[in-house]
Amino acid sequence: MPKRNRTKITGPITVFLTTTLIDWQPLFSNKNILDKVERQLFQLFPCKADALMGYVLMPSHVHLIVGFKCGGIQMCEFMRTFKSLTARFLFPERGSIWMEGFDDFIIRTDEQFAIKLNYIHDNPVRNNLVKLASDWKWSSVRLWLNDEPNPSLTKSWDWLD
């Protein structure tokens, strides 16, 4: 498989990221596990990334919209840290729980941002986990729909300053 050359991406970027558990195992089906994964994610900001603008934690995968001032190197370090921490602290007996690598899509327009954010928030509904997106606790949907505050999330582009 060819290298993606993510480390050559420089400057500020907003990225839609997806990472998946090995064989799509639903290791995150338990509410306690989802709470712990969410805490791990929030603890990475602002030390490993500059902005968490959207997320959803699913039983077998995670979708994120994240801002990085330092581009691809920072993005790769963030994903490596997130996957390592969740595997070591939540499933130490299993070793690796994540598929190798991750998928990324650099968001360049407001329209792309809206499409990806809606995709993230609708994921639990499409997967028949809830009837309404706002019923899924492990998502940024309530911040965006109801302005429910969360110090780990931002709707602002101030992080670019």
pLDDT of residue 97: 96
pLDDT of residue 91: 93
Q: Which pair of tokens denotes residue 108?
A: 């360049």
Of 115, 83, 77, 82, nearest to 97 by C-alpha is 83
Which pLDDT tens digits describe the chain residue by residue (161 residues)?
344 666 566 678 999 999 999 999 999 999 999 999 999 999 988 788 899 999 999 999 999 999 999 888 899 999 999 999 999 999 999 888 999 999 999 999 999 999 999 999 999 999 999 999 999 999 999 889 887 778 888 888 787 77
Its pTM stands at 0.92
Cα 39 to Cα 147: distance, rounded to the nearest angstrom: 20
DSSP reduced 3-state for 74 = helix
Say which amino acid occupies 66.
V
pLDDT of residue 45: 85
Q: Which domains does the chain have, with CATH numbers?
A: 6-108 (3.30.70.1290)
pLDDT of residue 8: 65
Helix 71-90 × helix 31-43 angle, to 10°? 140
What are the DSSP E strand ranges found in 2-157?
Answer: 13-20, 51-57, 61-68, 103-107
